[in-house]
């Protein structure tokens, strides 16, 4: 409780200096609503509302209903959804949020996560997020996925649902620097259930910033299901459109 009170006080100070809800998070222009983007920038935002994989929600092309990952890999989560396509303005804003001390952007993105959760009728008992190691969190000062989850629950007035259900037990390389196969190996065995949190019989919603191959949410779901969760749904701010190994890492 004390931690959340301190965080809200810090947020209030930050917003008094540069109020996010009254400025476009891309260009800084004044805005008069809580969309986070001005009229010009919102036109450049790419929503993930085209054809998507029916399991993981990533943008796909062609006649198939499922992406290559969901077709050929062992999938532990039940469904996953993403609001935006990970490109352009959204990609820049997320990188700023993660690595340039713009954690307050999470409040903007959380509103879109709530919209998606309501639109897709996502039901959940608890909300959690991929954990960071203590060292990484000290270096970055916060876990952006934790902020997204906290603001998400705050908007819905369900603060008691946000829990640190997972613990990171070893350091890993940054996922965005790895190819598809290395992402899976990198995360394998890196999470464990928090023994203080009971997920048995619970519907769990895992919130994160970016979904690429789905390795992160899948590893989270694997641990949560093993601990007794009845369902695990992923919800991310953005998803990178399906790419093939010969195109990119």
Tokens 């700023």 correspond to what residue? 96
Per-residue pLDDT tens, the chain, 249 aa: give them. 555 555 555 555 555 545 545 799 999 999 988 899 999 999 999 999 999 999 999 999 988 999 999 999 999 999 999 999 999 999 999 999 999 999 999 999 999 999 999 999 999 999 999 999 888 888 889 999 999 999 999 999 999 999 999 999 886 655 455 455 555 565 677 899 999 999 999 999 999 999 988 999 999 999 999 999 999 999 999 999 987 543 343
Give 122: exposed, middle or buried? Use CB within 10 Å, 0-12, 13-18, 19+.
middle
Angle subtended at Cα 82 by Cα 245 and Cα 8, rounded to the nearest 5 degrees: 125
- The span from the CA of 45 to the CA of 23, in Å, is 16
Strand partners, 79: 233
User: Strands, DSSP E only, in 55-118?
Assistant: 79-85
In Å, the largest CA–CA distance within the chain is 52
Q: What domains, with CATH codes, occur in the chain?
A: 1-44 (no CATH), 47-239 (3.40.50.2020)
98's CB contacts (< 8 A; 6+ apart) are 140, 144, 209
**In this predicted structure, what is the pLDDT of residue 102?**
94
Question: pLDDT per residue over 40-71, tens digit each?
Answer: 999 999 999 999 999 999 999 988 999 999 99
Angle subtended at Cα 12 by Cα 10 and Cα 14, rounded to the nearest 5 degrees: 70
Give 248: exposed, middle or buried? Use CB within 10 Å, 0-12, 13-18, 19+.
exposed
Q: What is the pTM of this model?
A: 0.85
CA nearest to 18, candidates 110, 140, 105, 139: 105
């Amino acid at each position: 409780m004390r931690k959340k009170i301190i965080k809200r006080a810090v947020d209030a100070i930050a917003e008094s200096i540069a109020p996010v809800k009254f400025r476009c998070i891309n260009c800084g222009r004044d805005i008069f609503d809580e969309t986070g983007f001005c009229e010009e920038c919102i036109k450049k935002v790419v929503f993930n509302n085209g054809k998507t994989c029916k399991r993981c929600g990533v943008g796909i092309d062609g006649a198939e209903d499922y992406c290559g990952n969901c077709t050929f890999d062992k999938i532990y989560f039940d469904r996953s959804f993403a609001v935006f396509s990970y490109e352009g303005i959204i990609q820049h804003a997320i990188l700023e949020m993660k690595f340039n001390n713009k954690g307050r952007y999470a409040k903007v993105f959380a509103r879109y996560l709530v919209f998606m959760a309501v639109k897709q009728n996502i039901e959940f008992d608890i909300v959690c997020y991929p954990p960071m190691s203590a060292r990484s969190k000290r270096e970055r000062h916060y876990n952006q996925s934790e902020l997204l989850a906290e603001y998400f629950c705050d908007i819905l007035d369900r603060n008691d649902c946000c829990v640190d259900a997972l613990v990171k037990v070893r350091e890993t390389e940054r996922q965005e620097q790895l190819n598809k196969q290395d992402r899976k190996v990198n995360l394998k065995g890196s999470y464990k259930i928090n023994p203080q949190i009971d997920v048995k019989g619970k519907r769990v919603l895992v919130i994160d910033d970016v979904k690429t191959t789905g390795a992160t949410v899948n590893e989270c779901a694997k641990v949560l299901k093993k601990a007794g969760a009845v369902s695990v749904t992923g919800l991310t701010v953005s998803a990178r459109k399906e790419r093939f190994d010969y195109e990119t890492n």
